Structure 1
Amino acid sequence: MSSTRLAILSPAARGPMSLPASMGQLVASVESHQEVWGCWLQSWDLPVTISEIALFLDELARQALQQGREVIWAPMSSASSSVRLVLHGSAQPEALRRALTTLHLQNFMPGRILHCQRDDLALVLHGPDGPLSAANHSLIEALEGISLDVAVTTLWEKGYFQLLLTDMDSTLISIECVDEMADHLGLKRQVAAITERSMAGELDFQTSLRERVRLLAGTPASTIDTIIRERLQLSPGARELVTAAKAQGVEVGVVSGGFTQFTRYLQETLDLDYAFANTLEIVDGQITGQIVGDIVDAAAKADILDLLAISLGTDASHCIAIGDGANDLPMIRKAGVGIAYHAKAVVRAQADFQIRYGGLDTASTYLGWGNG
């Protein structure tokens, strides 16, 4: 059966708007009637077609415009689906208005409020069934200039996800371990030159890593402990994300093109279920400049995600991957949900969701962990 979804967004100071009596009699259900982020959001389901109430809608829109309110409506059908809109960051009425207006252009309409507090807002959207990538990229463009993270996501049931796998450098932690070691040893310029050649496409990741590690030859292994003690910092929200995942029964791992000494520290500190990285060769208390065994590169990260999923009796579609660099792309693309964290443009473009401003706990908000 076809119906019409109607919503009104009003400045909080104006208060909610009443429907004309003749129109109010048509209401099948009230989904939202709440003050959120400096606005009154009202949403109704009307069991009639738009053509049947076109005159009422036009008059309502005219009155609303005179009062500084915004009215939107869209047809709904039995094929319509429900998804979640998440806004995380600065609670601005303009952000909510831009988001709902942008989504309305794609026939998404607001429904009930799932969660609302100062920095987080999550609400149900009703709209067309299908991929959400277009809606997400449109939202990012529409909210450009506002320091706020936004996503349209599936309404996943608890237990849907089994594994969260995250990159380490500049993702789970705020530093790049090799760069910090190089800076500590006065080798920053040499390492930067190798990194630049890698970014220019002159070196692949494995070659770049081996050349950088070679520069560390003869360095006391205790340098690693010094870096961990003096420079290593968790990214904002890292501990909260791990805690939220475990509360959902999701296993958590870190996978890195860095070194096992750092990932082991993180595994102990955050009580992670898994930790994978490269093994530095250490002989007589000194780093030899060599790596033992196979290198954990982009392909290996994706393979590790696959293998862990299988060991958990599931597949990649029930896994989440978070990263910031090009070597995270294969696992981000393979996972059921791939999240770009303060990432390079190429990663943001291919990830399901982006975290551009907030901490890692923004991922918990996107996934609906603890907030509806």
Structure 2
Amino acid sequence: MSSTRLAILSPAARGPMSLPASMGQLVAEVESHQEVWGCWLQSWDMPVTVGEIAPFLDELSRQALHQEREVIWAPMSSAGSAVRLVLHGAARPEALRRALTTLHLQSLMPGRVLHCQGDDLALVLHGSRGPLSAVNHRLIEALEGIALDVAVSPLWDRGHFRLLLTDMDSTLISIECIDELAEHLGLRRQVAAITERSMAGELDFQTSLRERVRLLAGTPASSIDTIIRERLRLSPGARELVAAAKSQGVEVGVVSGGFTQFTRHLQEALDLDYAFANTLEIIHGQITGQVLGDIVDAAAKADILDLLAIGLGTDAGHCIALGDGANDLPMIRKAGIGIAYHAKAVVRAQADFQIRYGGLDTAAAYLGWNTA
């Protein structure tokens, strides 16, 4: 059965807009009628086609134009599906207006408010559902210049996801551990030179890591404890994201091309279920400059995601991967949902969701874990 969904966005100072009596009689459902982010958001479902009420819609638009209100409508089909719009950041009416206008062009219309608290807003969207990655990239472009994170995501059932696997350096924590260790030892310039060669494609990750670790030979292992104590800081929202995941029954792990001393610390501090990283060889309290065993590189991260999923009786499609660098891309692409956190452009372009401004708790908002 075809219907028409109508929405009006009004400045809060104007208050909500009343429908003409002739239209009000056609309303099948009032889905939204509340103040959010400095706006009144109203949404109705009408069991008639757009053509049947076109004159009323035109007149309503003319009235709204003089009152600084915005009226949008679209035909709906019973085959349409609901998704979630999340806005996380600067609670500005302009952000909501731009988002809804952009989504209207994608045949997505606002419905009920799922969550509205402070700088977090989540709405149901109705309409035709194409590739959400394209919708999300258009939304980000439309909101350029506003310090706000935005995403359209499915309305997943509780239990859909079983695992959250996150990178460590510059993702779960705000530092790059090997760089901090190098600076502490007066080796930043030498380590940075190797990193630059790696980024230029002259060295693969494994060779780059082994060369950097070789520079640490002969230094006391206690230097690692000093970095953990004095410099290691969790990224904003890290604790909140882990707590939200666990409240949903989702297991959480960290996987890193860094070192086990740091991941073990995080596992204890955050009560993580899993921790994977490279093992520095330490003899008589000194770093030897060697890495023991296989290197945890980009391919290994994706393999670990697969293995953990199998262990949980599921597959990668029911896992979430979160990272910031190119070596996180294989696991981000493999996971059911890949999230780029303050990431390089190449990662943002291939991730399902982006977090550009907020903390890691933004991921919980995208996934609907903060919705009552």
Q: What is the one-letter code of the residue matched to 2:150?
A: V
Instruction: Show the counterpart of 2:278.
Output: 278
Instruction: Show the counterpart of 1:341.
Output: 341
- The SS at the match of 1:6 is strand
- Please give the alpha-carbon distance, in whole angstroms, between the structure 2 residues aligned to 1:31 and 1:142: 26
Aligned positions of 1:192-211 closer than 5 A = 192-211=192-211
TM (normalized to structure 2)?
0.99
**Does residue 163 of the first structure (1) align with residue 163 of the second (2)?**
yes
Instruction: Show the counterpart of 2:299.
Output: 299
Instruction: Show the counterpart of 1:145.
Output: 145
Q: What is the one-letter code of the residue matched to 2:109?
A: M
- Please give the alpha-carbon distance, in whole angstroms, between the structure 2 residues aligned to 1:6 and 1:256: 48
**Does residue 84 of the first structure (1) align with residue 76 of the second (2)?**
no
Instruction: Show the counterpart of 1:244.
Output: 244
Instruction: Show the counterpart of 2:19.
Output: 19
Of stretches 162-171 and 124-133 in structure 1, the one that deviates more from structure 2 is: 124-133
Q: What is the one-letter code of the residue matched to 1:204?
A: D
Q: What is the one-letter code of the residue matched to 1:120?
A: D
Q: What is the one-letter code of the residue matched to 2:9?
A: L
- The SS at the match of 2:314 is coil
Instruction: Show the counterpart of 2:226.
Output: 226
- Please give the alpha-carbon distance, in whole angstroms, between the structure 1 residues aligned to 2:276 and 2:61: 57
Q: How far did 1:284 drift?
A: 1.1
Q: How far did 1:337 drift?
A: 0.6
Q: How far did 1:86 drift?
A: 0.2
Q: Given that residues 79 and 129 in structure 1 are in contact (C-alpha distance below 8 angstroms), is that contact kept between their aligned partners in structure 2?
A: no
Q: How far did 1:311 drift?
A: 0.2
- Please give the alpha-carbon distance, in whole angstroms, between the structure 2 residues aligned to 1:202 and 1:53: 65
- Please give the alpha-carbon distance, in whole angstroms, between the structure 1 residues aligned to 2:238 and 2:261: 19
Instruction: Show the counterpart of 1:112.
Output: 112
TM (normalized to structure 1)?
0.99
- Please give the alpha-carbon distance, in whole angstroms, between the structure 2 residues aligned to 1:265 and 1:242: 15
Q: How far did 1:131 drift?
A: 1.9
Instruction: Show the counterpart of 2:331.
Output: 331
**Residue deviations 1:18-77 (CA, integer Å, cap 9, x gap):** 000001100000000000000000000010111111111110000000100000000101
Aligned positions of 1:1-80 closer than 5 A = 1-80=1-80
- Please give the alpha-carbon distance, in whole angstroms, between the structure 2 residues aligned to 1:105 and 1:280: 53
Any unmatched runs of 5+ in structure 2? none
Q: What is the one-letter code of the residue matched to 1:356?
A: R
Q: What is the one-letter code of the residue matched to 1:216?
A: L
- The SS at the match of 2:169 is coil
- Please give the alpha-carbon distance, in whole angstroms, between the structure 2 residues aligned to 1:123 and 1:129: 15
Instruction: Show the counterpart of 2:322.
Output: 322
Q: How far did 1:371 drift?
A: 1.3
**Residue deviations 1:210-242 (CA, integer Å, cap 9, x gap):** 111010010100110000001000000001111
Instruction: Show the counterpart of 2:154.
Output: 154
Q: Report % sequence identity.
A: 87
Q: Given that residues 365 and 371 in structure 1 are in contact (C-alpha distance below 8 angstroms), is that contact kept between their aligned partners in structure 2?
A: yes
**Residue deviations 1:264-321 (CA, integer Å, cap 9, x gap):** 0000010000000000011111101110000000000000000000000000011000
- Please give the alpha-carbon distance, in whole angstroms, between the structure 1 residues aligned to 2:361 and 2:107: 29
Aligned positions of 1:186-197 closer than 5 A = 186-197=186-197
- The SS at the match of 1:149 is strand
Equivalent residue pairs, number: 372
**Residue deviations 1:86-138 (CA, integer Å, cap 9, x gap):** 00011000000000000000000000000001110000000112321111000
Q: What is the one-letter code of the residue matched to 2:267?
A: Q
- Please give the alpha-carbon distance, in whole angstroms, between the structure 1 residues aligned to 2:257 and 2:200: 19
Any unmatched runs of 5+ in structure 1? none
**Residue deviations 1:159-200 (CA, integer Å, cap 9, x gap):** 111000000000000000000000001111111111111111
- Please give the alpha-carbon distance, in whole angstroms, between the structure 2 residues aligned to 1:14 and 1:219: 67
